[in-house]
Amino acid sequence: MSENALAIIVLAAGQGTRMKSRLPKVLHEIGGRPLVGHVLTTAHALGAQHIEVVVRHEREQVIATLAEQYPDARIVDQDEIPGTGRAVQVALDALPDDFDGDVLVLSGDVPLLEADTLQHLLDGHRAASAAATLLSAHLDDPTGYGRVIRGADGAVERIVEQKDATDAEAAVTEINAGVYVFRVAALRTFLTRIDQNNAQGELYLTDVIGLLRGAAEHVAAELAPDAASTFGVNDRAQLAEAGRVLNQRIVRRWQREGVTIIDPATTWIDDDVVLAPDVTVLPNTQLLRACVIATGATIGPDTTLVDTEVGEDAVVKRTDANLAVIGARATVGPFSFLRPGTVLGEGGKIGAYVETKNAQIGEGSKVPHLSYVGDAVIGRHVNLGASTITANYDDVNKHRTEIGDEVHTGSHTVLVAPVRLGAGAKTGAGAVVRKDVPAGSLAMSVAPQRNIEGWVEKNRAGTGAADAAARERSAE
Ligand code: UD1
Ligand code: CA
């Protein structure tokens, strides 16, 4: 194999004790993707011949997520011997014997590193012909990280873990990012020499650095250009902090692409979201999973969209939507709830206190106030009167409602599915529609109104209502 062959080992077998979670640490998400997913996305950008992920703790869960989202990563099982050194040993054993390139070790819990930084690390390592090159950073608060201990000449001597550090060592602010490149031959040789004589009784990968130096091998260190990118996630506070840093990056990226984001601190945009130039995002808005927002659309304030598509110049205000499609120039909100399968046509409207599910609402059609529309297909230029409801569920099954073009329903119409309203049909206020309405018909189901004159004065004599009625009638 060529000198530049590359294998990437992603460490994801640790227990993640400090997360105190049922979910394995590396599956906790930031920006809509598990921590280990961020690492693998970056790893893929580097063009490695081999990518291996070392698993053990909650392996089934981790493997299931990897198989679904990163099917070309190879799974390697760590045995009961603990530590990052052991994890790399088992991964090396799984590489082909004739692999003769560089090995890049990444931590499944260090999600913010970018491919550029890693490429730079690789280039530096190769240019220096180093046996190992580690990525380090200066942190104001290095607590919890391994410290990079340098000799009098400034060269890296070894790495010492927080739990094994003397006070003087703990005072060092240069940390080990947990990311390294090794020449595979050097790694194979020196990994067999580490032991478990340390505070945690683990095989530390970090000990390889000191051993290499002791054998006069060349060990280099690259300082990360952006210290925050080396951030490791060990507990929930760090998870939130990493999520915030990632979000800040995503917001910046879209601002540079021409998106107006009024309040970055309260705007959350997942990594997979796509925004067009001249989108405006107002405060307190979350755009999650695979949302796609077209140019000129305004989203927010106080809006959460999940896997939702929004068309050009649409306005979506104070809305919760999941797996919905909102057409160009449509308006949604305030206080609208769009559930999966909602498709709102161009120029359509879903207004205040309206819930929709599995509902196709045609071009220019309006559901303006207080409605539930489920399992329905609605034509073009329809207007549903305030509080029109599709009664789609008969306690056993869900049924469909079909509404033709140009239908107008009266307020408080109940459409008892399965039912069809032909084109141009109308319903009276309060109608309960149990039978199909032919095109162009008016459906009335409420009994004619009967007024019993004088009832109040007779039966409620002496009340304010009776007095007011008497006054109005005498003035007539
Ligand atoms: C590790 C480094 C530390 C560095 C820090 C950077 C060691 C001994 N220490 O410490 O110098 O500053 O990362 O974030 O390497 N893992 C396994 N198998 C194991 C143990 C861990 O695969 O037996 C995986 C974990 O899932 C995790 C990564 O290795 O993704 C790092 O393990 P963790 O226990 O978090 O190490 P740190 O204490 O953070
Ligand atoms: Ca860690």
- What proportions of the chain, in percent to the nearest 5, are helix, strand and coil? 25, 30, 45
Give the residue among 412, 401, 414, 407 at the shortest CA–CA distance from 441.
407
Q: How far apart are CA 301 and CA 334, in angstroms?
A: 9
- 170, pLDDT greater than 50: yes
- Amino acid type, 199: A
Q: How far apart are CA 151 and CA 210, in angstroms?
A: 11
- 365, pLDDT greater than 50: yes
Give the nearest ligand 1 atom to 146 CA. 11
- 320, pLDDT greater than 60: yes
Ligand 1 binding pocket mutation candidate from 107, 147, 156, 203 (most atoms within 8 A of CB): 107
CATH architecture assigned to 250-443 = 3 Solenoid (2.160)
**pLDDT 10s digits, 384-397:** 999 999 999 988 99
369 is catalytic: yes
Closest-approaching ligand to the CA atom of 84: 1
User: How many whole angstroms from 319 Cα to the centroid of ligand 2?
Assistant: 38
User: How many whole angstroms from 20 Cα to the centroid of ligand 2?
Assistant: 14
Q: Specify the pLDDT at position 475.
A: 93
Residue of 369, 381, 399, 408 with catalytic role: 369
**pLDDT 10s digits, 394-432:** 889 999 999 999 999 999 999 999 999 999 999 999 999
Give the residue among 50, 98, 101 at the shortest CA–CA distance from 76.
50
Q: Which two tokens stand for residue 167?
A: 């006070």
Q: Specify the pLDDT at position 38.
A: 97
**pLDDT 10s digits, 189-228:** 999 999 999 999 999 999 999 999 999 999 999 999 999 9
Closest residue by CA, ligand 1 atom 31: 107
- Contacts by residues 461-464 (CB-CB < 8 Å, ≥ 24 positions apart): none
| Residue spans per domain, the chain | 6-230, 250-443
User: How many whole angstroms from 12 Cα to the centroid of ligand 2?
Assistant: 10
* Burial of 154 from C-beta contacts in 10 A (0-12 / 13-18 / 19+): exposed
Ligand 1 binding pocket mutation candidate from 84, 106, 145, 187 (most atoms within 8 A of CB): 84
User: How many whole angstroms from 87 Cα to the centroid of ligand 1?
Assistant: 10
Output the ligand 1 site: residues, CB below 6 A.
11-14, 26, 54, 78, 82-84, 86-87, 107-110, 145-146, 159, 161, 175-178, 204-206, 232, 234
User: How many whole angstroms from 167 Cα to the centroid of ligand 1?
Assistant: 21
Read off the pLDDT band of 1 (50, 70, 90): very low
Mean of per-residue pLDDT scores for the chain = 97
**pLDDT 10s digits, 94-110:** 999 999 999 999 999 99
Share of the chain above pLDDT 90, in %: 97
Rg of the chain over Cα atoms, rounded to whole angstroms, equals 32
Closest residue by CA, ligand 1 atom 1: 178
Give the residue among 153, 165, 171, 162 at the shortest CA–CA distance from 221.
153
Largest CA distance in the chain: 113
Fold of 6-230: Spore Coat Polysaccharide Biosynthesis Protein SpsA; Chain A (3.90.550)
